[in-house]
Amino acid sequence: MSQDKIISDSISSKMVVLGDAAWALLEKHSIDQIDFDAVADMAGVERELAAALGGSVQCLVLAKMSELHRQSLMETYDNIQDAGAVSIREKIIESLLHLFETYAPYRSQIEHLKRSLRTHPKLVLRLLDVLEAVIRRILVMSGDQALGLKGTLRVKGVSGVFLATARVWMEDDSNDLAATMKMLDQRMLQAEEWGISLRVFNNRRSPGGLDDQAHDHVASGRYGVDND
């Protein structure tokens, strides 16, 4: 193993433990209450090195969220590959639901993060960037390449679905997240109807455009998500 590889692995491992420490402290404290030195001490990383690698508590928290997103996406990818022929809409909902399942043990962190937004307006923008990045990957993984202006609008629309559903998810303590699933379905339907009216989604009724289940949705006034 080369020296550069050893150094790279060491940096990566330190970033992981720093992110884990910041995330653990976020369970009981807002970002303003978390001292960076306390994060470094908890992670067992020299304070000066921790500052050079992590930068701030915000950066470490966002890095941890990106790690959770990667975990969720890889698990969802395996499920989608085993699911056979299902609509893009179903794949997106499955991916969003699994993202909520990934975050389920961390509702306290999400609550404290939400409280931190009141005094950190720039954090709002950074969180939206992180969310839209994972939503774009979900769309691509589900078969929607999310290209161009319409693709960007679809990313923002599905991001809005996720945020609106998150309010229900915070109170949903059921094992199967039934209330969250119901809200996801309702919000996706609403987003699709808006998207079709704004020509962000296509409404193609040919077998190549929608699968049988999506045809049933159309027949009942519901539309599948499709590409440009």
pLDDT in tens, 35-67: 999 999 999 999 999 999 999 999 999 999 999
What is the distance between the alpha carbons of residues 114 and 106, in angstroms, rounded to a whole number? Answer: 12
The pLDDT value given to residue 7: 56
Percent above pLDDT 70 for the chain = 82
> Can you tell me the mean pLDDT for 184-195?
87
> Can you tell me the mean pLDDT for 147-158?
92
The pLDDT value given to residue 221: 37
Q: Are 143 and 206 in contact (CB under 8 A)?
A: no
The pLDDT value given to residue 15: 93
Q: For the ranges 67-71, 130-134, 224-228, which has the lowest average pLDDT?
A: 224-228
The structural domains of the chain, with segments of one domain joined by +, span 58-219
Helix or strand (DSSP H, E) at 101: helix 88-103
The pLDDT value given to residue 78: 82
| C-alpha dihedral, 158 to 215 to 186 to 79, nearest 10° | -60
Task: Quickly tell me which residue has 């379905």 as its tokens.
Answer: 185
Q: In the CATH scheme, what is the code of domain 58-219?
A: 1.10.357
Q: Which residue has the higher pLDDT, 67 or 206?
A: 67
Average pLDDT over the chain reads: 84
The pLDDT value given to residue 29: 94
> Can you tell me the mean pLDDT for 60-89?
88
Q: Which residue has the higher pLDDT, 32 or 224?
A: 32
